[in-house]
A = this chain, B = another copy of it.
C-alpha cells in the first residue's frame, strides 16, 4: 500500500510532509521516535519540514490511528507506527532498549479485572521496567 493511499484512507490529504514522515517512520530502524527524532531524521534525509508541522502531523496521525502515542516515564511523547498488532513494552532502565511482547493471558485478565469494576476498556498500556538480558547479566 502506497503512503499516499494510506493517508487518503485515513482521511488525510497526501501532502509532502505527511508522506515523508510516514516514510521515515516506516523505514527507520527505530520503532519509537519523539517528535524531535522525526524532525531530525527528516533533516538527515535532506528534507526540511518545520517542527510545528511534525507535531501537527503526528497528532493527526494519532487521531487517524496511524501511530500510537506513548508517555513512558519520560517528559516527552514517543510515537510508534500502528501497523502491527497490539503489544506491550519492557523498558531497560540501563541501556534504554525497548523490548516488545504480547501475552494473551494478561489481556484476558485485564478484561476480567475491568469487568469486575464495571469498567469498559478501550485501550491499555503496560510497561515493565528493569534490566534487559544484556544489562542484567553484566555486573558492571
Residues of A within 8 A of B (CB): 69, 71-75, 77, 90, 92-93, 99, 101, 103, 105-106, 109-110, 113-114, 116-133, 136
> Could you tell me the distance in whole angstroms from the C-beta of A84 to the nearest C-beta in chain B?
17
Q: Is the CB of A123 within 8 A of B130?
A: yes
Q: How many copies does the complex hold?
A: 2
Beyond A69-B73, A71-B71, A109-B109, whether A117 also contacts B99 by CB under 8 A is yes
Q: Chain A interface secondary structure, helix, strand, loop or mixed?
A: mixed
A-B pairs with the 7 shortest C-beta distances? A118-B133, A71-B71, A121-B130, A122-B130, A120-B136, A124-B128, A120-B131
User: Hey, which chain B residues are within 8 Å of A129, CB to CB?
Assistant: 121-125
Residues of chain B with a CB closer than 8 A to A120's CB: 130-131, 136
Q: How far is the CB of A30 from chain B (nearest CB, A)?
A: 19
Q: Write the nearest CB–CB distance from A112 to chain B, whole angstroms.
A: 8
- The residues of B that contact A109 with a CB separation of less than 8 Å are 103, 105-106, 109
Residue of B nearest to A72 (CB): B71
